[in-house]
């Protein structure tokens, strides 16, 4: 038998075409996968940037964002308005007594208001509280407990004579009276 010196035969050419086709197919799959990953990564980065923007936006002080005085012992918070923005509380006999630091110069002004709570049937001044009583006076109900703010009805703490109370005290009493209570 004589050796052929013609180069590749038909089988060799088909093998080269199949191998080249496989290499091309694998290359195309890798390229398309990388392209897909790049798009996904880009999309994920945009989502992360979007989430960062949201986080950044929500952490910036906003003009309309409500501020609260949290009373952990009761599980409630008092929404603060301009006139009571420096509010604080002190626990006395189990009740949070409310005041504002802008009245600290008056020794008796640490008890302008208090947060009260009760349940139906609790005794108050010799008669049990009814559901109607509590619904009328309360600003918040959590489970079976009703909460409200009571402004002290004693004389002025900034002017014991009562002829000219400090305007800050008058405003604080009014704003505590209408302040919103929210569950913590």
Instruction: Outline where the chain has alpha helix (H).
Output: 10-59, 131-137, 167-178
What pTM was estimated for this model as a whole?
Answer: 0.61
> Which pLDDT score is estimated for 7?
60
> Which pLDDT score is estimated for 167?
93
CA atoms within 13 A on the CB side of 6: 7
> Which pLDDT score is estimated for 168?
93
Sequence ranges of the domains in the chain: 7-61, 67-183
Nearest to 171 by CA among 72, 84, 53, 44: 84
> Which pLDDT score is estimated for 158?
86
Q: Mind listing the pLDDT tens digit of every residue in the chain (184 residues)?
A: 555 555 657 777 788 888 888 888 888 888 877 766 655 555 555 554 545 444 444 445 555 678 999 999 999 999 999 999 999 999 999 999 999 999 999 988 888 999 999 999 988 777 888 899 898 888 899 999 999 999 988 778 888 777 788 999 999 999 999 999 999 9
């Amino acid at each position: 038998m004589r050796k052929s010196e013609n180069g590749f035969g038909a089988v060799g050419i088909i093998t080269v075409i199949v191998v080249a086709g496989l290499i091309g197919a694998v290359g195309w799959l890798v390229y398309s996968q990388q392209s897909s990953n790049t798009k996904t990564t880009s999309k994920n980065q945009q989502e992360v940037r979007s989430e960062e923007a949201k986080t950044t936006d929500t952490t910036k002080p906003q003009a309309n964002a409500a501020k609260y005085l949290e009373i952990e012992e009761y599980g409630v918070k008092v929404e603060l308005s301009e006139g009571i923005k420096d509010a604080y509380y002190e626990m006395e006999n189990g009740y949070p007594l409310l005041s504002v630091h802008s009245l600290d110069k008056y020794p008796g002004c640490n008890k302008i208001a208090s947060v009260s709570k009760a349940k139906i049937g609790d005794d108050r001044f010799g008669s049990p509280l009814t559901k109607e009583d509590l619904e009328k006076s309360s600003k918040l109900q959590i489970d079976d407990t009703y909460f409200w703010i009571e402004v002290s009805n004693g004389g002025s703490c900034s002017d014991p004579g009562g002829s000219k109370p400090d305007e800050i005290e008058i405003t604080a009493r009014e704003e505590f009276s209408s302040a919103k209570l929210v569950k913590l």
